[in-house]
Chain A
Amino acid sequence: MKTSPDDANQRFTVELIKGALNASRREMEALITRTSMSPFIREKKDFFTAILNPQGELVVSTSLTLAGNLIDSILDSYPLHTMKNGDLYWYNDPYFTSGAVSHLPDMVFVMPIFSKARVIAFVECWGHLWDIGGRVPGSISPNAKSVYEEGVMIPPVRVIQAGVRNEEVFRIFTRNSRFPEMLEGDLNSLMAACQLGKKRVEDCINVYGENNLELALEKTISQTEAALKSQIDQLIPEGEWAFRDRIDSDAVSDRSYYVDAILRHKRGELTIDFTQTDKQAAGPINFIMDESVPKFMLGLYLTHGMDGVIMNAGFTRALGAIKTSPGTLLAPNSPAPLGLRSHTMFRVNSALFGCLAQAMDGAASAASSVYVLYYLRGKRPNGGEDLCIEGLSVGYGARNFADGLDAVYYVAQENYPVEFAEMEFGLEIEQFSVHCDSGGAGRYRGGCGIMRDVRVLLDEMTLGIRIDNCRYPAFGTNGGKSGMPGGVIINPGTTGERRIKPLSDGTVVKKGDLIRIITPGGGGWGSPLDRPQHDVLDDVLDGYVSIKQAKNQYGVVLSKDGLAIDLYETKKLRASRPRAPEMFHRGEYYNAEDDRTPQNQ
C-alpha cells in the first residue's frame, strides 16, 4: 500500500513522539524503583505509570490490565477549567471513583499537563503501599468484612495546588500508618515520578509542537483500536458464548462464588455481559471492575504478537459495552471489603478465556491459579514481633501453543531466598520443590505449583494463608485436564497430621510443627494423548510428572526406572483411550452451558 509523503512524514513524527512518551514513562518507572521504600513496590514491582489524553483515555502505560477510568472522578470534584499548572491530585478510594482503583493500598497520583493554559494531557502513576492503617499490619486481611477495616480512604484531593503542597493532608494520612517513614518515602517517590513525567511531556511539546503531540496521542490510540478490530474480524465469528468460573470461598463464609460472562459478537461489535455473576461476597474477594479490565484482557490476548500494538484506550474503543449488575461480585455496593480482589480478577480472565475457547475452536489458554500468600506472626524470645509475609508461586494455564509457566507469581515479584527467610524469621525451610503432577495434563501441560515445608522454631505462631483453586482447580481447555488443587497440611505423615482451610487466618502452630504448603497447578490444553511421548518422558526426568501419571494421564508407559519409553505398550494404551468428550475439564470433562444451570450453583 502506497502512502502520500505527508502521511509518511506524519506517521514518522507520530512514531518518534510515541517513542518519546514511552521513554518518559519508563523514566518514571526507573525513578520509582530507585526511590521507593516498600518491598511491594521495589521487589514485586507493584506499580503503574501512564500518560493519558485530556479526555482521560490511556495512551501509553505499564502493561498491567488494572487500569480503571482514572480521570473522571477527579473531574467530578475539580472540573478541567479549574485545574492549574502544577496541580497534583491524589486518591485511593475505590467506591468514590467507581473502581478507578480496585483496592485501598494502590495510591493514585495524577498531574495535568498544560500547553498555553489548556490541559493537553495527564501523567499518572500508582503504587501499592506497605501499610495504610486498617485492622492488620499490611492493611489487607482475609478476615475483613468491610472496606473500612482495610485502611484509610482518600477521595480525589488536590494535594499540590499550583505547585504548593498541602502538608496537613500528609500529616493526617501518615499518622494512620504503622510504618509512617516508609509510607512517606513511597508517597514522595510516586509524586516525584509524576513531576518527572510532566517535565518530559512538556519537553515533547517543545520539540515536536502541541499539534503534533495531540496528533500522536490520538494516533497511538486509534492504531491500537484498528489492530484489535481487525483481529476480532479475523478470529471471532458472529455468535454468543457463555462461561462461568468459580472462586473457592470468600474466607468469611464457606460458600463459593462465581463469575459469569457472556461474550457476544454481532455485526462487528463485541460485547460482554457479566450481569449473571454471583451476588457480592461478605469477605474481601469483591472486585469493582472497571470496563477497561475485561477489555484490556481481551485486547492484549487477541493482539499479542502483533508488532507495534500498544495496550491503551484503543482496546476500550474497539470493544462494545461491558455490563455488570450492582450488588454483584463485580459491582459491589459499599462497604463490601476488597482486599483480595485478585481472586476474582483471575476468574474474570479465565471466564473470558472460556468464552474465547468456545468461539475460536479451543484456541485460548486454559485457566491459571491465583498467587498464594502466607503470613506467620509470633513473638521472638527477646519479646520482639516476628512477621513473615511470603508470596508463593502457582502454575499458570497451558497455552494453545506452549506449556503453562511453572511456579510463577503474578507480576514480577521474586520470593525470599530460603537462606534469607531462615535468617529473618523464626523458621527453617526443609523443602522447596516443584509440586509434581500438579500441572493439568494436556497436549500442552499446565504449569506446576510448588511445595514448601516450613518448620516452626518459635514457641508459638499464628498462621494466615490465602490459597484459592482448591475446591475449584484451574480448568483445562480443548480436552486438557484441570490442574491439581493446593492445600495446607500441618505435620504431614505423622499422627498429628491435620489439614487447615486454604483461605483462613488465626491457626495456632507450635515449636517443632511442620507446615506443608502446596500450591495449585494450571490447567492443561489439548488432549494429553496428543502430547509427544518424548515430552512426557522429559517431564518425568525433570520431576514435573510421575511415572504413574505418565501412564494414567498421558497413556505413556515407561520402563521401571523411568528412563525409557515402552513404545509398544504406549501405542496400545493410547489407541485404547477414548477422546475427550467435551471442551473443558475440572475433575471431569464438562460442558460450559451445563455448568451454568441452576443446579450447578
Chain B
Amino acid sequence: MAYRVAVDIGGTFTDFCVFDETTNTLETHKVLSTPGKPGSEIILGLEELSKRKGVNPQKISWFSHGTTVGINTVIQRQGAKLALFVTAGFEDVLELARLKVPDPYNIFSQRPQPLVPRERVYGIEERILLDGSVEKKVNIQSVKSAIKAAKAAGADTIVVALLHCYANSTNEQQVKQAIKQVDDDVEVTLSSDVWPVIREYERTVTATVAGYIQRRVANYLSAFQDALKQAGVPALPLIGKSNGGVMTAELGKTEPISMLLSGTAAGVMGAASIAQHSGRAEVISFDVGGTSADVAIIMDGAAAYGSGEMVGDFPIYVPTVSVTSIGEGGGSIAWVDDFGVLKVGPESAGSTPGPACFNNGGEKPTITDAFVVSGLLVSDRLGYGAVNLDLKKARASIRSLGDKLNLRDEEVAESIIKVAVSGMFLETSKLFSHRGVDPRRFSMVAFGGAGPMLACHLAKDLGLAEIIIPPTPGVLSAFGGLVADIRNDFIRTVMVDVNNKGLKSILMSVKTLEEEAASWLRDEQGFKGKSELLWSCDMRYRGQSFEIETIVKQSWLYDSSSEQIKAAFHEAHHQVYDHSDDHAEVQIVNLRLVIVGTVPKPSLPMTKERKSLATPSKNVKVHVDGNHHEAAVFDRQKLCPGDHFYGPAIVLQDDTTTIVLPKFTAYVDGAKNLILTANGIQDASR
C-alpha cells in the first residue's frame, strides 16, 4: 500500500495533505512557501513528512499540486513580452473589448492596460468566412513584415488570433509555420489551440493570457518535476486545473491557461467532496483567508462552472469552477471614515505584518484583532504554532478606533465583526438570487484559516440550514487535489438548427471531439482507468443573444434525436427563466464534451456515533451580542463522533479556530465533521 499526497502552494504557507492507504487516515502539514525557489518547499515538506510522520517518498503513488504561479504572473505583470497577430482591419480588438468598461457608472473608471500594447499588434492579410471557407489566403509577405516589426520591438512570444479560426484553423497554422521558418525560438500561441470558440474578443483575450504566462509556468513546472525526482517520488506529477480536475504537469507546460484558477477551484472541489460524503445536496463553500473570502455554490456534488472569470484585470473564457471573491478576510483592516462611520477593508494587513495581535509589526485593527478582543480567539497555536496571539496589541489597535467612536473595546470589536459580516452578506445573498435557489436549504462548508471563525455569523444572517466544518479546514484546497479526477474540456462551435439535417451535419464534429478526448486521456495522460464522457450543448432560441448550456445524452447526438435535444433545452430554459417556448426554433451554438478519468477516491472511514455531551477543557469569558458569556473551549482532536455541545463555544485545532455562537448546537458526525445548527441536535444528526 502507498500514500497519496496533494500540495497547495499559497502566498504564505504551503499545505500538504497525505492519505495513508494502509491505515485510511489523513495527515496534514504546513511549511512556509519559497516563492524565490520554486520546488524547494516541496522538498522540505516531504523531508519533514518523512521524519515526523514516516511518509516514505518512494511509496507515494499519487502526487497532485495546485499553484498560483500563473495568476501571479498576470497580476504582477511578469509574463512574456507579447506580440499579437490578428486579421488586418481588427488590430484594436483588445482595446475595443466589446466596449466594456470596468465600472460603467463611475466617471473615474479607466480601462486596464492590455497585456500586449497596441503598438505590438499587427494585421495579417487573410480572411476566413463564418462557414470556415477561406476567402483570402494568408499573405505570407504580411506575416514576414509583422515578424520583423515584432522582433524589432523585442517580442519573445507571438499570439495569433484570426477571425473565424474556430471554424477553420488553417490560416492560423500557416501563420505559425511562417513564423517558425523565420525564427524557431519565438514561442507561438494559436487561439484555435487555446479555446476554439466563436466571439473574437473573448477568444483573443484568452489566447493572450495563455501566451503571456506560458514560459513562466513551463519553467515552474520543470522545477516542480525536478523536485519530485530529487525527492525520489515515483508518482506522475499532476497539476490542478481551474475546472477542478487534474492533468499531468508535462501537459501543463503547453496548456497553462487551464490551470490559472486551480487554487480556488481545488478548495471548492474539497468542499464538494465533504458535502457528498456526508450526503448534502445543496452546499455553499466559504473559504476565508487573510485577505479575501471565496464563496461558491455546489448542487448535487457538482460545482457551478463559469466562463469569463477574471484573472487580474482580464476575463478568461475557459471552463472554470465559478467562485465569487469578496475582498474581506481575517486580516482586513477596520477604520473610521470622514462621517464617523466604521468601515472594514478592502485594505488588508495580509500575512506581513499581519493583524496587530500577531505582534509582527502590524498596528492597525483587523477582523482577527476584533475576535481576540471579544475573547473568541484564545488559541496560542495558530498556524501550527507559528503565531502567538498578543491580547495587549489587539486591544491597543481596537482602542484607536474606540477613541474616535467613543465606544468600549468590546463594543468596537463586535461592531467590526458585524460590519465585516454585513459586507460578506451583501455579496453572498445575491448569489442565491442569481441562481434562484433558497438559502434555507443550504449547508455551508466553512474552511480556510478564518472561515470557521466567521461561519456562524454569516450563516445566521443568510438563514442557512447548517454549517459543516471539515476535519482539516485549514488544508481543504490541498484535500481537493487529493480527491480530484483527471478532467479536460473540449469545445466546437457548430451553429446549426436543431433538426434532422442540422444534427446530421454535426456528426463528424461529435466523432472528432470524442476521438480528441479519448486520445487526450489515453495518450497524453497515460490514463488506463475508468472514464466518463459528459456531453452538453450551448443552445438558444433563434435570435437570442445568449446561450444556455444544456446537458444532452451521447445517444441523442449519434441518433440525431432532435425532439429529445429540444425538450432538454426547453426544460433548461424553463428552469432559468420560468418559461419556455415549445414552438420556437432552437439552435446549437457550441458542442461541448468533458472527459473524466475517474480516480479511485480515498475512502475515509465512518466511525460509529456514540451520542454524548462533550466535556470542555476550560471555560473563558467572551463578549457576544452586547453581553458577556461563559464560553466552553474544546480541543478538536479530542472530540469523538457523536459528541455534542452548545454555544457559545470555541473549538481549537492546529488549522483554525471554530466559533460556535449562542443558540447554536455543535455535533460531531461519523466522518468527524463538526456540524453546527441553530435548531438543536435532532437536525444536526439527520
Which residues between 8 and 24 of chain A lie within 8 Å of chain B, taking CB atoms? 8-9, 11-12, 15-16, 19-20, 22-23
Q: Are A31 and B433 in contact (CB under 8 A)?
A: yes
Q: How far is the CA of A109 from the CA of B407 in the complex (A)?
A: 43
Residues of A within 8 A of B119 (CB): 541-543
Report A-chain residues with C-beta under 8 Å of the C-beta of B516.
none
Q: Which listed residue, B99, B130, B407, B422, touches A423 by the CB 8 Å rule? A: B130
Least distance between B587 CB and chain A CB atoms (Å)? 10
Given contacts A4-B406, A399-B107, contact A415 B130 (CB under 8 A): no
Which chain A residues lie closer than 8 Å to B340 at the CB level? 1, 3, 8, 11
- When A30-B430, A35-B577, A433-B90 are in contact, do A402 and B95 touch as well, CB less than 8 Å? no
Chain A 192-236 interface mask (CB, 8 Å, partner B; 1/0):
000010000000000000000000000000010001000000000
Question: In the complex where A35-B576, A542-B117 touch, is A414 in contact with B341 (Cβ < 8 A)?
Answer: no
Question: CB-CB < 8 A to A4: which residues of B?
Answer: 406
Chain B residues within an 8 Å CB radius of A34: 433-436, 576-577
- In the complex, what residue of chain B is closest to A403 when comparing beta carbons? B110
| Residue of chain A at shortest CB distance from B578 | A35
Chain B residues, CB < 8 A from A223: 339
B403's closest neighbor in chain A, by CB? Answer: A2
Chain A contact-residue range equals 35 or more
Q: Complex Cα distance A204/B350, Å? A: 34
Which of B89, B422, B435, B544 is close to A19, meaning CB atoms less than 8 Å apart? Answer: B422
**Given A4-B406, A19-B426; A419-B545 close (CB under 8 Å):** no
- List residues of chain A with CB within 8 A of the CB of B226: none
* A43 adjacent to chain B (CB < 8 Å): yes
Interface membership of A420, Cβ < 8 A: yes
A408:B99 contact, CB within 8 angstroms: yes
- Which residue on chain A has the smallest CB distance to residue B201? A417
Selected from B130, B338, B339, B579, the residue in CB contact (under 8 A) with A422 is B130
Q: If the complex has contacts A412-B104, A432-B90, are A541 and B118 also in contact, measured as CB distance less than 8 A? A: yes
Considering the complex, give the chain B residue whose CB is closest to the CB of A22.
Answer: B426
A27 within 8 A of B: yes
Q: Which of A16, A33, A300 gathers most chain B CB within 10 Å?
A: A16
Contact of B406 among A2, A31, A42 (CB under 8 A): A2
Chain B nearest CB, measured from A28 CB (Å) = 8
Smallest distance from the beta carbon of B406 to chain A beta carbons, Å? 5
Selected contact of A407 from candidates B89, B96, B419, B430, CB within 8 Å:
B96
User: Which residues of A lie under 8 Å from residue B435 when comparing CB positions?
Assistant: 34
Task: Decide if A591 is an interface residue (CB 8 Å cutoff).
Answer: no
Minimum C-beta distance from B606 to chain A (A): 38
Distance to closest chain B CB from A181 (angstroms): 6
Q: Please tell me if the beta carbons of B422 and A431 are within 8 angstroms of each other in the complex.
A: no
In Å, the complex CA distance between A128 and B101 comes to 21
How many residues on the B side are at the interface (Cβ–Cβ under 8 A)?
67
A419 in contact with B198 (CB, 8 Å) = yes
Q: Is the CB of B91 within 8 A of A433?
A: yes
8 A Cβ contacts from A419-442 to B: 419-420, 422-423, 428, 430-434
Asked if residues A433 and B342 are in contact (CB atoms below 8 Å), the reply is no
B168 part of interface (Cβ distance < 8 Å): no
Which candidate, A74-82, A286-294, A301-309, is the interface stretch facing chain B? Answer: A301-309
Q: Does B636 contact A (CB under 8 A)?
A: no
Of the residues B107, B130, B578, contact of A304 by C-beta under 8 Å: B107
Question: Which of chain A's residues have a CB closer than 8 A to the CB of B185?
Answer: none
Does B220 count as interface, using CB distance less than 8 angstroms? no
B337 / chain A contacts, CB cutoff of 8 Å: 307-308
Cα distance, A405 to B576, chains bound together (Å): 35
Q: Which residues in A have their C-beta under 8 angstroms from that of B425?
A: 19-20, 23
A413 CB-CB contact with B under 8 Å: yes
| Cβ contact within 8 Å between B419 and A16 | yes
Given A27-B433, A541-B119, also A420-B199 (CB < 8 A) = yes
Q: Which of A1, A2, A393 contacts B99 (CB 8 A)?
A: A393
Interface assignment of A312: CB less than 8 Å from any CB of chain B: no
Contacts of A506 in B (CB 8 A): none
A419 CB contact (under 8 Å) in B163, B419, B431: B163
A8 CB contacts on chain B under 8 angstroms:
340, 405-407
- Within the assembled complex, what's the spacing in Å between the Cα atoms of A1 and B434? 42
- Which residues from 332 to 355 on chain B have a C-beta closer than 8 Å to any C-beta of chain A? 337-343
Select A450's contact among B96, B101, B108, B164, beta carbons within 8 Å. Answer: B96
Chain A CB within 10 Å, residue with most, of B104, B199, B426, B434: B104
Chain B residues 383 to 409 lying within 8 A of chain A, measured CB to CB, are: 404-407
Q: Give the distance in Å from the alpha carbon of A415 to the alpha carbon of B91 in the complex.
A: 17
Identify the closest chain A residue to B111 (Cβ): A405
- Which A-chain residue is minimally distant from B105 (CB atoms)? A63
When distances are taken between beta carbons in the complex, the residues of chain A under 8 Å from B429 are 23, 27
A543 in complex: contacting residue of B92, B98, B106, B578, CB < 8 Å: B92
Q: Is A279 an interface residue (CB 8 A)?
A: no
Nearest CB on A from B132, distance (A): 12
**Nearest CB in chain B: distance from A43 CB, A:** 6
Give 1 or 0 for each of B671-685: 1 = CB within 8 Å of chain A CB. Answer: 000000000000000
**A411–B104 touching, CB < 8 Å:** yes
Decide if A406 is an interface residue (CB 8 Å cutoff): yes
Q: Is B532 part of the contact surface with A, judged by Cβ < 8 Å?
A: no
The one of A3, A308, A408, A432 that contacts B101, using a Cβ cutoff of 8 Å: A408
Interface residue? A365 (CB, 8 A) = yes
On whether the beta carbons of A415 and B98 are closer than 8 Å, the reply is: yes
Whether A542 lies near B118 (C-beta < 8 A) is yes
Bound: A391/B117 CA distance, A: 26
Report if A517 contacts B (CB, 8 A).
Answer: no
Q: Quick one: closest B residue to A305, CB to CB?
A: B108
Q: Contact check: which of B91, B98, B405, B579 meets A185 at CB < 8 Å?
A: B579
- Answer whether A39 and B545 are a contact pair too, CB < 8 Å, given A15-B419, A417-B202: yes
**Chain A hits for B10, CB < 8 A:** none
Task: Flag B479-510 by CB within 8 Å of A: 1 or 0 each.
Answer: 00000000000000001000000000000000
Bound form: Cα–Cα A415–B100 in Å? 9
Interface residues of B in 39-64 (CB under 8 A from A): none
Residues on the B chain within 8 Å of A542, using CB? 95, 117-119
> Does B415 have its Cβ within 8 Å of any Cβ on chain A?
yes
| Across-interface contacts of A42 in B (CB, < 8 A) | 545-546
A196 cross-chain contacts in B, Cβ below 8 A:
433
| Residues of B close to A184: CB separation below 8 A | 579
A188 within 8 A of B: yes
- C-alpha gap A304/B109 in the complex (Å): 11
A37 to B405, CA, bound (A): 48
Residue of B nearest to A428 (CB): B129
- Compute how far the CA of A348 lies from the CA of B69 in the bound complex, rounded to whole angstroms: 49
Q: Name B426's contact: one of A26, A416, A541 (CB within 8 Å).
A: A26
Would you call B406 and A406 a contact (CB within 8 A)? no
**B418 in the interface (beta carbon within 8 A):** yes
Given contacts A15-B341, A419-B130, A422-B130, contact A393 B96 (CB under 8 A): yes
Per-residue 0/1 for A295-325: is the Cβ within 8 Å of any B Cβ (1 yes, 0 no)?
A: 0000011001111100000000000000000
Answer whether residue B327 sits at the interface, using C-beta atoms and an 8 A cutoff.
Answer: no
The distance from the CB of A235 to the nearest CB of chain B, in whole angstroms, is 15
CB distance from A563 to the nearest CB of B (A): 9
Please, which residue of chain B has its CB at the minimum distance from the CB of A417?
B199
Q: Which residue of A lies closest to B626 (CB)?
A: A9
Restricting to A534-567, which residues have a CB under 8 Å from any CB of B? Answer: 541-543
- Separation in Å of the B549 CB from the closest CB of chain A? 15
Extra inter-chain contacts (16) besides given A34-B434, A543-B92, CB under 8 Å: A2-B404, A3-B406, A4-B406, A8-B405, A11-B341, A16-B422, A19-B422, A19-B423, A26-B430, A37-B577, A39-B544, A402-B110, A409-B99, A415-B99, A417-B98, A432-B90
Closest 7 CB pairs of A and B: A541-B119, A542-B118, A431-B89, A63-B105, A30-B433, A30-B434, A27-B433
> Can you offer 25 A-B residue contacts whose CB atoms are under 8 A?
A2-B404, A3-B340, A4-B406, A8-B340, A16-B422, A19-B422, A22-B426, A27-B430, A30-B431, A30-B434, A33-B434, A37-B577, A63-B105, A185-B579, A300-B107, A308-B341, A405-B109, A418-B163, A428-B129, A450-B92, A541-B117, A541-B118, A541-B119, A542-B117, A543-B119
